[in-house]
Amino acid sequence: GFTVYQADNGKEAIEKWKKYKPDLLWMDMRMPVMDGYEATRAIRKETHDNESPTIIALTASAFEHERRKVINAGCNDFMSKPFHENDLFDKIAQHLGIEFVYEEEKEIPMDDTTTKLPKIMLNPSQISEETRALLIRAAESLSFNDVQRAVALVPEELDPLKKHINLLAQEFDFGAIIDLLSD
Protein backbone atom coordinates (compact mmCIF):
# COMPACT_ATOMS: atom_id res chain seq x y z
CA GLY A 1 0.00 0.00 0.00
CA PHE A 2 0.84 3.65 -0.18
CA THR A 3 0.55 6.54 2.20
CA VAL A 4 -0.96 9.49 0.36
CA TYR A 5 -0.81 13.15 1.39
CA GLN A 6 -2.75 15.79 -0.48
CA ALA A 7 -1.89 19.46 -0.86
CA ASP A 8 -4.27 22.11 -2.17
CA ASN A 9 -1.56 24.39 -3.56
CA GLY A 10 2.14 24.46 -4.39
CA LYS A 11 3.19 26.08 -1.12
CA GLU A 12 1.40 23.39 0.87
CA ALA A 13 2.98 20.73 -1.40
CA ILE A 14 6.45 21.97 -0.44
CA GLU A 15 5.55 21.95 3.27
CA LYS A 16 4.23 18.38 3.06
CA TRP A 17 7.26 17.29 1.04
CA LYS A 18 9.57 18.69 3.75
CA LYS A 19 7.58 17.00 6.51
CA TYR A 20 7.00 13.55 4.94
CA LYS A 21 9.82 13.19 2.35
CA PRO A 22 7.77 11.04 -0.09
CA ASP A 23 9.46 9.01 -2.82
CA LEU A 24 7.04 10.28 -5.46
CA LEU A 25 5.03 13.45 -5.92
CA TRP A 26 2.14 13.92 -8.32
CA MET A 27 2.40 17.63 -9.04
CA ASP A 28 -0.59 19.44 -10.52
CA MET A 29 0.96 22.21 -12.58
CA ARG A 30 -2.01 24.57 -12.16
CA MET A 31 -2.65 25.30 -8.50
CA PRO A 32 -3.49 28.42 -6.52
CA VAL A 33 -0.99 30.31 -4.32
CA MET A 34 2.05 28.68 -5.99
CA ASP A 35 1.82 26.68 -9.22
CA GLY A 36 3.42 23.28 -9.79
CA TYR A 37 6.30 24.70 -11.84
CA GLU A 38 7.42 26.96 -9.01
CA ALA A 39 6.89 24.26 -6.36
CA THR A 40 8.91 21.74 -8.40
CA ARG A 41 11.78 24.19 -8.88
CA ALA A 42 11.77 24.96 -5.13
CA ILE A 43 11.90 21.25 -4.22
CA ARG A 44 14.71 20.60 -6.71
CA LYS A 45 16.64 23.59 -5.37
CA GLU A 46 16.53 22.13 -1.83
CA THR A 47 17.56 18.56 -2.69
CA HIS A 48 20.66 16.67 -3.68
CA ASP A 49 20.43 14.01 -6.40
CA ASN A 50 20.47 11.10 -3.95
CA GLU A 51 17.53 12.49 -1.92
CA SER A 52 15.53 14.00 -4.75
CA PRO A 53 11.99 12.63 -5.10
CA THR A 54 10.41 11.58 -8.36
CA ILE A 55 8.03 14.33 -9.47
CA ILE A 56 5.41 13.54 -12.09
CA ALA A 57 3.53 16.52 -13.51
CA LEU A 58 -0.23 16.40 -13.95
CA THR A 59 -1.37 18.73 -16.69
CA ALA A 60 -4.42 19.20 -18.88
CA SER A 61 -2.19 19.51 -21.95
CA ALA A 62 -0.86 16.55 -23.93
CA PHE A 63 1.28 18.68 -26.27
CA GLU A 64 5.03 18.10 -26.62
CA HIS A 65 5.84 21.73 -25.74
CA GLU A 66 4.06 21.25 -22.40
CA ARG A 67 6.06 18.07 -21.78
CA ARG A 68 9.32 19.98 -22.39
CA LYS A 69 8.13 22.79 -20.11
CA VAL A 70 7.46 20.46 -17.15
CA ILE A 71 10.71 18.54 -17.69
CA ASN A 72 12.60 21.86 -17.77
CA ALA A 73 10.92 22.81 -14.47
CA GLY A 74 12.43 19.68 -12.89
CA CYS A 75 9.73 17.05 -13.27
CA ASN A 76 10.81 13.50 -14.12
CA ASP A 77 7.75 12.76 -16.24
CA PHE A 78 4.24 13.93 -16.94
CA MET A 79 0.69 12.68 -17.41
CA SER A 80 -2.10 14.55 -19.09
CA LYS A 81 -5.55 14.72 -17.49
CA PRO A 82 -7.87 12.97 -17.46
CA PHE A 83 -6.07 9.64 -17.32
CA HIS A 84 -6.93 6.04 -16.57
CA GLU A 85 -6.13 4.38 -13.27
CA ASN A 86 -3.88 1.84 -14.99
CA ASP A 87 -1.74 4.65 -16.44
CA LEU A 88 -1.22 6.01 -12.94
CA PHE A 89 -0.07 2.64 -11.60
CA ASP A 90 2.17 2.12 -14.64
CA LYS A 91 3.95 5.42 -13.90
CA ILE A 92 4.38 4.49 -10.23
CA ALA A 93 5.85 1.11 -11.19
CA GLN A 94 8.12 2.68 -13.81
CA HIS A 95 9.56 5.38 -11.55
CA LEU A 96 9.73 3.52 -8.24
CA GLY A 97 10.84 0.19 -9.70
CA ILE A 98 8.02 -1.78 -8.13
CA GLU A 99 5.79 -4.49 -9.50
CA PHE A 100 2.10 -4.67 -8.73
CA VAL A 101 0.50 -8.06 -8.15
CA TYR A 102 -3.12 -8.00 -9.20
CA GLU A 103 -5.81 -10.28 -7.91
CA GLU A 104 -7.66 -12.11 -10.63
CA GLU A 105 -11.04 -10.52 -11.20
CA LYS A 106 -13.99 -12.65 -10.22
CA GLU A 107 -17.26 -12.27 -11.99
CA ILE A 108 -19.91 -11.24 -9.51
CA PRO A 109 -23.46 -12.13 -10.48
CA MET A 110 -25.73 -9.14 -10.17
CA ASP A 111 -29.46 -9.06 -10.03
CA ASP A 112 -31.60 -6.71 -12.11
CA THR A 113 -31.85 -4.13 -9.32
CA THR A 114 -28.11 -3.45 -9.28
CA THR A 115 -27.55 -3.42 -13.03
CA LYS A 116 -30.64 -1.59 -14.21
CA LEU A 117 -31.07 1.62 -12.28
CA PRO A 118 -33.70 3.73 -14.01
CA LYS A 119 -31.98 6.26 -16.26
CA ILE A 120 -33.93 9.09 -14.65
CA MET A 121 -32.17 8.34 -11.33
CA LEU A 122 -28.74 9.02 -12.87
CA ASN A 123 -29.71 11.92 -15.11
CA PRO A 124 -26.98 14.55 -14.65
CA SER A 125 -28.94 17.10 -16.69
CA GLN A 126 -31.05 17.64 -13.56
CA ILE A 127 -27.99 19.20 -11.87
CA SER A 128 -27.57 22.93 -12.45
CA GLU A 129 -25.04 23.93 -15.12
CA GLU A 130 -22.96 25.72 -12.47
CA THR A 131 -22.78 22.69 -10.18
CA ARG A 132 -22.05 20.34 -13.10
CA ALA A 133 -19.20 22.62 -14.25
CA LEU A 134 -17.86 22.69 -10.68
CA LEU A 135 -18.01 18.88 -10.45
CA ILE A 136 -16.24 18.48 -13.81
CA ARG A 137 -13.47 20.90 -12.76
CA ALA A 138 -13.08 19.03 -9.46
CA ALA A 139 -12.82 15.69 -11.28
CA GLU A 140 -10.35 17.16 -13.79
CA SER A 141 -8.18 18.33 -10.90
CA LEU A 142 -8.22 14.73 -9.57
CA SER A 143 -9.18 16.01 -6.14
CA PHE A 144 -11.35 13.72 -4.06
CA ASN A 145 -11.98 16.55 -1.56
CA ASP A 146 -13.05 19.00 -4.28
CA VAL A 147 -15.46 16.41 -5.74
CA GLN A 148 -16.91 15.83 -2.25
CA ARG A 149 -17.44 19.58 -1.75
CA ALA A 150 -19.05 19.94 -5.18
CA VAL A 151 -21.31 16.90 -4.86
CA ALA A 152 -22.65 18.37 -1.60
CA LEU A 153 -24.25 21.07 -3.78
CA VAL A 154 -26.35 18.50 -5.66
CA PRO A 155 -29.98 18.63 -4.43
CA GLU A 156 -31.15 15.85 -2.07
CA GLU A 157 -33.83 14.73 -4.53
CA LEU A 158 -30.97 13.51 -6.75
CA ASP A 159 -29.59 11.28 -3.97
CA PRO A 160 -28.97 8.21 -6.22
CA LEU A 161 -26.89 10.39 -8.55
CA LYS A 162 -25.00 11.92 -5.59
CA LYS A 163 -24.24 8.44 -4.24
CA HIS A 164 -23.07 7.28 -7.66
CA ILE A 165 -20.70 10.25 -8.07
CA ASN A 166 -19.41 9.72 -4.50
CA LEU A 167 -18.75 6.05 -5.27
CA LEU A 168 -16.82 6.98 -8.43
CA ALA A 169 -14.79 9.52 -6.43
CA GLN A 170 -14.00 6.93 -3.74
CA GLU A 171 -12.70 4.67 -6.51
CA PHE A 172 -10.71 7.63 -7.92
CA ASP A 173 -12.53 7.12 -11.22
CA PHE A 174 -12.49 10.81 -12.10
CA GLY A 175 -12.70 10.03 -15.82
CA ALA A 176 -16.05 8.29 -15.28
CA ILE A 177 -17.34 11.33 -13.36
CA ILE A 178 -16.33 13.58 -16.25
CA ASP A 179 -17.94 11.21 -18.79
CA LEU A 180 -21.15 11.00 -16.76
CA LEU A 181 -21.49 14.76 -16.38
CA SER A 182 -20.40 15.66 -19.91
CA ASP A 183 -23.09 13.65 -21.70
Domains, the chain, in order of start with CATH, read 10-96 (3.40.50.2300), 112-182 (no CATH)
d(CA 32, CA 22): 22
d(CA 83, CA 80): 7
- Is the distance from CB of 111 to CB of 143 less than 8 angstroms? no
Per-residue model confidence as pLDDT tens for the chain (183 residues): 788 899 989 999 999 999 999 999 999 888 888 888 999 999 999 887 677 899 999 888 777 778 888 899 999 999 888 888 888 889 999 999 888 887 776 665 544 444 344 444 567 888 888 988 999 998 888 888 889 999 999 888 888 888 899 889 888 888 889 988 886
3-state secondary structure of 177: helix
